[in-house]
Amino acid sequence: MPQNLLEQLRKYTVVVADTGDIEAMEKFRPQDATTNPSLITAAAQMPQYQPIVDGVLKDARNELGDGASDQAVANVAFQRLAIAFGKKILAIVPGRVSTEVDARLSFDTEGTIKQARSIIVQYDAAGIGRNRILVKIASTWEGIRAAEVLEKDGIHCNLTLLFGLHQAIAAADAGATLVSPFVGRILDWYKKDTGKDFHGADDPGVQSVTKVYNYYKKFGYKTQVMGASFRNIGEITELAGSDLLTISPQLLAELEATQGELPRKLDPQAAQKLSLEKIVVDKATFEKMHAADRMATDKLKEGIEGFSAALVKLETLLAARLAALESRTPAAV
């Protein structure tokens, strides 16, 4: 009996679920899972997860005391909520979960380090070892510097919102555990910029991830590549062989429902035969390459702003939920 595309993909690539929806994890049983502020905000509004939200809010209230404002409690709670979901997810997946540092700290190296360590302490307190946690950090120069410090402390990092080769090289030089190039967001930018549509190997997001993968394998970096933010299964099948791919439940279902041959497209041995130039990326080179890459400049800024806005929305929702809980009136986040 022919295998579906998802079964074949698992032969080449570690499949990761890109969701905060625990029920979706149970259905697809991925190796790892990733979340981000937008996904956590969406999950927090689902009725089935209200007990998790309420428990986090009550714990935050008890920690801060009755004198703290609802907004202050909500600010503490949102940081704990991602970890609460992470713990639930780790009861399902055999591998790791990625938990994101506050996007508003994307240009604050010390603030990122402090919050990353706090995330690890909270997982430690739950008896979850750091080998099962990836701390997600935006691929700014400041975020990459934070990851360098954290990796030396044995805290594994996932450099997210990655759009350009300069970000990928700097992250690998810093010893990041893995990077998450955003395939679909790159495609979105080029479609808008050119007015054209792209398919298969012509997809600029696919080309970007392929370039990063080949560069890492050519020069022997240990940092792994996890393609993310997919718009269609064509992008996924073109990246079969990437170290990891993080995929939404909707596209996982589509892969599972599709029959056909899935050849491996990315291969480390093939990459080692390529003629590539080694690039030294210091801060000046990083800033120069970033400024020259309109797509990376636009999408990094947009991504940080989008995740920051999601956190503001989540804090507002949590404050409203807390007020409703404490006045004993029903309300949904």
> Tokens 């940092």 correspond to what residue?
223
| Neighbour count for residue 313 (Cβ, 10 Å) | 16
Distance between CA atoms of residues 180 and 162, nearest Å: 6
DSSP character string of 19-55 = -S-HHHHHHH--SEEE--HHHHHHHHTSGGGHHHHHH
Distance between CA atoms of residues 18 and 261, nearest Å: 24
> What's the Cα-to-Cα distance from 102 to each of 5, 36, 181, rounded to whole Å?
35, 10, 19
Distance between CA atoms of residues 34 and 1, nearest Å: 32
Residue 2: strand, helix, or coil: coil
Q: Which of 27, 114, 136, 218 is the catalytic position?
A: 136
The residues near 122 (Cβ < 8 Å, ≥ 6 apart) are 80, 83
Catalytic residue flag (residue 313): no
**Which two structure tokens, joined as six digits, stand for 51?**
């007990």
Residues 85 and 20: beta-carbon distance below 8 Å: yes
Helices H, strands E: what count in the chain?
15, 8
Cite the active site residues: 136
